[in-house]
Amino acid sequence: MAENKSDPGTDVVPAIDQKLIDESVTFINDTIVKTIYKGSLEIGKYLLEKFFDNDIKLASSRNPRKSDSFQQLCKRPDLRVDPTTLSRMVRVASQEEYLIESKVATDNLFYSHKLELIKLPNDKKKLDLIKRCIKEKLSTRTLAKIIAETRKETPSTIEQSPLKLLSNIDSSIEKANVPTLLLQPDKLAKMKSKTRTKTKESAERLLEKMAVLEKECRTLISTINKFEEKKLKEQEAKEKKKQELLKNKATKKTAKEKEKMKTA
């Protein structure tokens, strides 16, 4: 009888290549991050151009009325990106434009770093912090702590008095340059139709804000008038009470004098 010989190849279990697995995990994770990062920047750049006409200051602000069209976009039920995430994409894209203008290379920063950095205004402090972040290879968590401390130290967090707030608004209105635009119709004529539309929309939003500001100022004046009227009435009541006390005192004094004269 012939002896059965098993195929040695069928019983051999291939060794697990742990190094290959580790390298693959790193490659997959890095590729996903790069894809998400690239996609987020592309979306942000697209929105910055289409909805904000590449206006870095407007796009990076926290003004809830940045763009009415953008607000409507965020309300779309079929949008697959959360509105907050979409807003952050725009702010990161505007930050990128600022950094390019400032000639700062950010290739060594992760998208998570850039998300933290949008919490700070576009100024020299931010640029210095970015340079430090790259040089010291700061983690996102460390950068977040530094930014949190920086924001606490910012003087703008100090509450201003009502008088100071109104003074700032008054100063901003005085610096308004709308008449300059009206005196240069040729500039308006040379604008792209899209830019003129954006300019008109900005002027309309400004009018709305001014209408709200007028209403709020009138309410403020009315409230102050009520306080002043109340204070005046209180002073009048005090003065009246004082006069009554003096009158009563004088009446009692006269009565005592008459009583003395009777008994004399």
Render 144-180 in DSSP notation, one character per residue: HHHHHHHHHH-GGGSPPPHHHHHHHHHHHHHT--HHH
Check if the beta carbon of residue 44 is closer than 8 Å to that of residue 90. Answer: yes
In a domain, 208, yes or no: no
Q: Is residue 132 part of a domain?
A: yes
* Structural domain that includes position 117: 19-166
Residue type, position 208, single letter? E
Q: What is the pLDDT of residue 63?
A: 57
* pLDDT tens for each residue of 18-72: 888 888 887 887 777 677 778 888 898 898 888 888 887 777 665 545 567 888 8
Tokens of 89: 């994409």
Q: Tens of pLDDT along 151-194?
A: 876 544 445 566 777 776 766 665 555 555 555 677 777 778 88
The confidence score (pLDDT) of residue 155 equals 46
Distance of CA 108 to the CA centre of its chain: 26
Answer yes or no: is 158 within a domain. Answer: yes
Find out whether 120 and 99 touch, Cβ atoms under 8 Å.
Answer: no
Q: What pLDDT does 126 receive?
A: 92
pLDDT digits (tens, 9 = 90+) for 99-145: 988 888 877 788 888 989 999 988 999 999 999 999 998 888 889 99
Check pLDDT > 50 for residue 232.
yes
pLDDT score at 117: 93
Residue 202 forms part of a structural domain = no
| CA distance linking residue 208 with residue 244, whole number of Å | 54
Average pLDDT on 206-225 reads 80
pLDDT for the residue numbered 220: 81
* SS3 (DSSP) at 13: coil
User: pLDDT at position 183, please?
Assistant: 57
**Rounded-to-integer distance, Cα 117 and Cα 62, Å:** 14
Q: Are 94 and 121 in contact (CB under 8 A)?
A: no
- Confidence band, pLDDT 50/70/90 cuts, at residue 5: very low
Residue 158, pLDDT score: 43
Structure tokens that stand for 53 in this block: 């006409």
Please report, in angstroms and rounded to a whole number, the separation of the first and last CA atoms in the chain. 164
Q: Considering its fold, how many domains does the chain have in total?
A: 1
**pLDDT given for residue 132 in this prediction:** 92
Domain annotation covers residue 144:
yes
Please tell me the predicted confidence (pLDDT) of residue 263: 73
Work out the pLDDT band at 146, boundaries 50, 70, 90.
Answer: very high
Residue 135 to residue 138: CA distance in whole angstroms: 8
The pTM is what?
Answer: 0.47
Q: Give me the helix-helix angle, 124-136 and 140-153, nearest 10°.
A: 150
Q: Is residue 180 part of a domain?
A: no
User: Is 160 part of any domain?
Assistant: yes
140 lies in a domain? yes
Q: What is the mean pLDDT of residues 196-225?
A: 79
